[in-house]
Amino acid sequence: AEVEETLKRIQAHKGVIATIVVNGEGIPIRTTLDNSTTVQYAGLLHQLTMKARSTVRDIDPQNELTFLRIRSKKHEIMVAPDKEYLLIVIQNPCE
Partner 1 sequence: LQVFDEEGKDVTPHPLFHSDPNTVVPRQGKLLASSAYFGATGSVFLSSFSMHQPSGANASLEQKRSCLLTSYNFSDVQVRQEEIKEELTKADLDRRVDLYLTETETIWMLDMPSVVVSVESEDAARVLERNRIYVDICTNRPGSDRFVEKMMQTVNGAAKNKEVQCDKIIMEDKGMMVTSWDLYDSFHVSEIEPTSKAEGSRTPTGKSSKPHTTKEHNQTMSVSSDRGSTTSTMILESAVLGRIHEEEECHSEAILTSENFQQDLFFMERILMENIFQPKLAAYRQFPVLTDPNVTSDTNGTVAAVKEAKQEKHDKEKKDKEEQKEAFIDPSILSGLNKTLEEIVPPRLERLWSYVCDLTNGHSVSSMVWSKVNPDLLAVGYGAFDFKEQKKGLACCWSLKNPMWPERIFQCEHGVTALDFSMASPNLLAVGMYNGSVAIYDVRSCNDAALLDSSESSNKHTGPVWQLRWVEQDRGATGDGKKERLISISADGRITEWLIQKRLDCTDLMKIKRTESEKKKLPGEKERKSEALISQQAAGMCFDFHPKDTNFYLAGTEEGHIHQCSCSCNEPFLKTYRGHKGPVYKVAWNPFSTDMFLSCSADWSIILWHQDSQTPILTFSSATAFVHDVMWSPKSAFIFAAANESRVEIWDLSVSTLNPVISRFANPRVKFTSVLFAKNTNCLLVGDSKGEVSVFELQNLAAPNSNKV
Residue 94 within binding range of partner 1, rule CB under 8 A: yes
Residue 30 within binding range of partner 1, rule CB under 8 A: yes
Say which DSSP state 53 is in. H
Q: Which is nearer to partner 1, 36 or 74 (CB)?
A: 74
Q: Which residues pair with 21 in a beta bridge?
A: 30, 87
Residue 64 within binding range of partner 1, rule CB under 8 A: yes
Q: In what order do the strands lie in the sheet with 68-71?
A: 28-31, 16-23, 85-91, 76-81, 68-71
Residue 44 within binding range of partner 1, rule CB under 8 A: no
Residue 33 within binding range of partner 1, rule CB under 8 A: no
Residue 84 within binding range of partner 1, rule CB under 8 A: yes
Q: E-assigned strands of 2-93?
A: 16-23, 28-31, 68-71, 76-81, 85-91
To which H or E segment does residue 39 belong? helix 35-59
- Binding region for partner 1 (CB under 8 A): 1-3, 6-7, 9-10, 13-16, 21, 23-25, 29-30, 54, 57-58, 61-62, 64, 66-69, 71, 73, 76, 78, 80, 82-85, 87, 89, 91, 93-94
